Amino acid sequence: MAKFQIIVSDTKTKTSKATVLEGPKAQALIGKSIGEEVEGKLLGIGSLTLRITGGTDKDGIPMRFDIQGGAKKRAILSSGVGFKPKTEGERIRKLVRGRTINEDTFQVNSVIVSGESEKADKSRGPEGTRN
pLDDT of 95-125, one tens digit each? 999 999 999 999 999 999 987 655 444 444 4
The predicted model gives 39-64 an average pLDDT of: 89
Q: What percent of the chain has pLDDT over 70?
A: 88
Kindly report, residue by residue over 4-13, the tens digit of the pLDDT: 999 999 989 9
Give pTM, 2 decimals. 0.80
Domain residues of the chain, as ranges?
3-115
Consecutive H or E run containing 49? strand 49-57
Pairing of strands 92-97, 72-77: antiparallel
